[in-house]
Amino acid sequence: MKVIEKSTAQLNKRIKVVLLIGSFSLFIQSMTSAFADDYEFDPSLLLGNKNNININQLHDSNYVEPGDYDVDIYINNRFFERKTVRFQLNDKGKVTPCFNQQQIDEMGILLENEISQDNSQCLVLNQINTNIVDSFDASNFRIMIAVPQILLKRRPQGYVNEDDLDAGNTMLFTNYSGNYYKNKSNGQTSDYGFGSVNMGVNLGTWQFRQQASYSYNSSKSGSNSDFNWIRTYLQKPLLTLKSMLVVGDIYTTGAQFSSLAFKGIQLMSDERMLPDSQKGYAPIIRGIATTTARVVIKQNGTEIYQTTVSPGQFEINDLYPTSYEGDLLVEINESNGKVSSFTVPFTALPESVRAGRFKYNFTAGEVNNFGSENSYFSDVALQYGVNNTVTLNTGMRVGHQYQAVFVGSVIATKLGAIGFNSAFSNAEVGGNNYQGGRLGISYSRTFSPTNTVITLAGYKYSTENFREYNDVLGLRKSVSNDMEWNSNSYNQESQFTLSVNQSLDKWGQLYISGSISNYYGNKGHDAQYQIGYSNTYKDIAYSLAYSRQKTGQMTANNTFTSITTDPISEDMVMLSVSMPLGRSDYSPMLSLSSSHSSDDSSYQTNLSGLLGEDKTLSYSVNADYDTQNRAVGSGLHLIKQLPFTTLSGSISNGKRYTQGSVGIQGALVAHSGGVTLGPRISDSFALVEAKGASGARVSNGMGARIDPFGYAIVPSLVPYQYNNVSLDGKNIRNNNIELLENTKQIAPYSGSSTKIVFKTQVGYPVLISVKPESPLVLGENVYDKDRHIVGMVGQSNQIYVRVENRKGTLTVGKDEDSCQIDYSIPEEKEADKLILLSGQCL
């Protein structure tokens, strides 16, 4: 398991905090603050024998003993990774970090000549190149390295070393949820129950998943229940191909053709495996610098990128996809003071692909829910970014007596991004052949002077004979079984959508959106329009919206039914206001809203907030009034996030009805150490092990704490990125347990279940006062029988240690003058937070 560990060598610093109190430590602090780091304190100025004082550990806050430590490495203020780094004495007697040739290469530092092919040689960066500066922060075990850009290899922003990626451990896990609902309305009582599980097990990078659900309802007319296996599939991330392989119950993406649920196989590009700055779309910036120059890129007046380039041509290909809209201003600041700039158009659509990037999707299988019909099919979809301006898209779907092709492109122009696509289908249904085509156009543009964003998309179906594959399968089954097939895509003639967003700066935000769909036959058309305005005044947020919805004859989607509903036309206006009732981040929130339609008006009030020390209890109290029924309603909803599960409950009542519900959801993970409960988990999660540290809180664990068995669940990790996982040991229930490390970092595969082990020390905290006739060296290390450092000598001949056994022998120092101290903890002192003993140096 490639978990990047937090160093355990901070023990000396913890000991200093405990021991170095009183007048002597104040004196040392005053002396070190009076002199710069280049000055050294002379121990002979102190009374007594200077040989009895190891002053290095006291006057240097970043002092560590020579040795190997796990540290965070930051390069130019950006985290690089955690590595084991050697610290050794230099010729000035100071302990400094050093690196071997392989480590320097991994950090991307360019050297004029390879110093040594032997990785056993440890190199000090500043001695290799005086332009490289490093500093060590012992409190965080962090090395800060400042390197000129010209001395760094070109790596994209958000780069993660593939050697650090963790495939995880073998575990069996499941998300579960259950809900019970009881309703009493007009004298009738109904009961409903629903439960679901989402199970999985990982074997290396092979990941098995299964989903199932159970439902139950009961009323005066009877009761029924239903159990369903929803999905079963096996997936495997393929890092070399930057792709994901899935076998089993899958869904097509629906990007070029209609989405299908099927059993089969799918292999597709997975952008999550790329560095953050390589995901999505962003243009490649090319230019020329006459000197070593600083290049700054701005979008809509905001700086989004900065780097240093060498003289000559340069290329920047690792911009984050901050926004699809807003031209980029590129400024070249030469070292001689000259500044030049140029503009790069930046308009895109969701289908846009970076220049040189290739994406693909291959699918084959059998469509679900069509019984005996031959529903096998295969899909191929390809996307390629030709350059900053053009993206090409193409695809094909082939099934039984069905063929369809798709061709499209996105062109980024100064006037905006324009997408064109066309599709052609050929199908046979009931002995008849149907051929038809579809044309589509999409447009997107941000007008920078006014910050107006326009997104426009329209689709036109050329004839009634264009068919999606799910419609063909439905029609075939309807012909053979004398039923009627209905779907949203069947016989759709055209669809038009428009979206406009206008920022008014401090005056708020205005939006307009709408869509119109027309159908062949007697289905009429659907239309909906919205216009809205929102703004804030101090802590008060308010919005006003108007909508109109009109539908033609409606039928259920993707079903065999002839049931239709009458056309609907409705207008609605809504006003809402929300404000916090206090100044803190956790102040309750009060929300008021009012909605008015053609034949009804309603008013709602809601008060919500968080309670508890960890803010794990959320509440919502609401009241409403409906003018049409002259009905007043009220309700209360609670959610409690426990370390091992989430509980919810609600109750509401109104005119002629009362309802209540209870729910539970969470996760269960079975592993080599037992079974652990926790909050719901996502696709990638971690199991934390910290033996004996029951009560320690997981910083990003949704309230999770280490359970009595030493485990907790981190419910969510971002795949292919570095994730920090921390433990807060303040609430550890056992005084004899100490966390030796509190932060770790992991970069997981997607779908991985990773075990992260935090080292703990089990033992008794002991402060030993050694008799004055045995003077000890101030600042000297204390060792146990295995020669591990367990403490340090403080003032007044005192040492602090944490020991595992009630009896034992400690060694102070490691040279010929070292001495041994025997100790024995009385039974009545075992539970003390700090055990005070006396001893003698033998």
The DSSP output letter for 705 is: B
- Residue 49, both tokens: 């024998």
Question: Hey, what amino acid is at 708?
Answer: P
Reported confidence tier of residue 729, pLDDT bands at 50, 70, 90: confident
Distance CA 105, CA 125 (A): 12
280-330: per-residue pLDDT in tens? 888 889 888 888 888 999 887 788 888 888 788 888 888 887 655 678 889
Residue with tokens 């062949």: 520
451-495: per-residue pLDDT in tens? 788 877 777 777 788 999 988 988 888 877 777 777 777 778 888
Question: Hey, what amino acid is at 646?
Answer: T
Cβ atoms 367, 377 nearer than 8 A: yes
Contacts 24+ apart (CB under 8 A), 251-254: 252/363, 252/379, 253/361, 253/381
Q: How far is CA 393 from CA 222, 357, 361, 417, in A?
A: 54, 12, 12, 15
322-351: per-residue pLDDT in tens? 655 678 889 999 988 899 999 887 888 888
- Residue 394, both tokens: 């193409």
Q: How many residues are recorded in the chain?
A: 842
Rounded to 5°, the CA angle 197-201-202 comes to: 145
Closest C-alpha to 761, from 784, 737, 788: 737
Averaged pLDDT, 256-275: 93
Question: Hey, what amino acid is at 164?
Answer: D
Domains 282-344 and 763-840 share a fold: yes
Which is more confident, 30 or 836? 836
> Does residue 267 sit in helix, strand or coil?
strand
Closest C-alpha to 21, from 740, 775, 798, 782: 798
| Element housing 25 (H / E) | helix 23-34
Averaged pLDDT, 704-723: 92
What's the whole-model pTM score?
Answer: 0.80
Closest C-alpha to 242, from 265, 273, 278, 266: 273
pLDDT at 325: 61
Rounded to 5°, the CA angle 198-203-204 comes to: 120
Q: Is the pLDDT of residue 10 over 60?
A: no
494-520: per-residue pLDDT in tens? 888 899 999 898 899 999 999 998 888
Indicate the fold that domain 282-344 takes in CATH. Immunoglobulin-like (2.60.40)
Cβ atoms 483, 477 nearer than 8 A: yes
pLDDT at 435: 93
- Point out which residues pair with 74 in neighbouring strands: 79, 144
Query: Could you tell me the maximum CA-CA distance found in the chain, to the nearest angstrom?
Result: 109
Q: How far is CA 722 from CA 75, 162, 725, 793, 822, in A?
A: 15, 11, 10, 38, 46
Indicate the fold that domain 57-153 takes in CATH. Ubiquitin-like (UB roll) (3.10.20)
* Contacting residues for 89 by C-beta, under 8 A, at least 6 apart: 66, 95
Reported confidence tier of residue 688, pLDDT bands at 50, 70, 90: very high
Reported confidence tier of residue 43, pLDDT bands at 50, 70, 90: very low
Reported confidence tier of residue 140, pLDDT bands at 50, 70, 90: confident
pLDDT at 391: 95
- Residue 161, both tokens: 């070393």
Distance CA 691, CA 763 (A): 12
Reported confidence tier of residue 61, pLDDT bands at 50, 70, 90: low
The region, left, alpha or beta by phi > 0 then psi within -120 to 50, assigned to residue 692 is: left
Distance CA 269, CA 274 (A): 10
Mean of pLDDT over the chain: 84
Distance CA 445, CA 455 (A): 7
pLDDT at 415: 84
Closest C-alpha to 694, from 641, 731, 667: 731
Distance CA 122, CA 87 (A): 9
Q: Which residues of 368-379 are buried (b: 16+ CB within 10 A; e: fewer)?
A: eeeeebebebeb
Reported confidence tier of residue 524, pLDDT bands at 50, 70, 90: confident
206-238: per-residue pLDDT in tens? 999 999 999 999 988 888 999 999 999 999 999
Closest C-alpha to 747, from 174, 171, 158: 158
Neighbouring C-beta atoms of residue 451, cutoff 10 Å: 15
Q: What is the percent of the chain where pLDDT is above 70?
A: 88
Of 145-149, 326-330, 649-653, which one has max mean pLDDT? 649-653
pLDDT at 744: 86
> Does residue 728 sit in helix, strand or coil?
strand
Q: What are the residue boundaries of the structural domains of the chain, listed by start?
A: 57-153, 282-344, 763-840
Rounded to 5°, the CA angle 82-85-89 comes to: 150
Q: Is the pLDDT of residue 623 over 90?
A: yes
Distance CA 220, CA 828 (A): 67
Cβ atoms 712, 698 nearer than 8 A: yes
Domain 763-840 is in which class?
Answer: mainly beta
Cβ atoms 493, 439 nearer than 8 A: no
Distance CA 175, CA 305 (A): 41
Q: How many CA atoms does the CB half-sphere of 89 hold within 13 Å?
A: 5
- Residue 398, both tokens: 């082939």
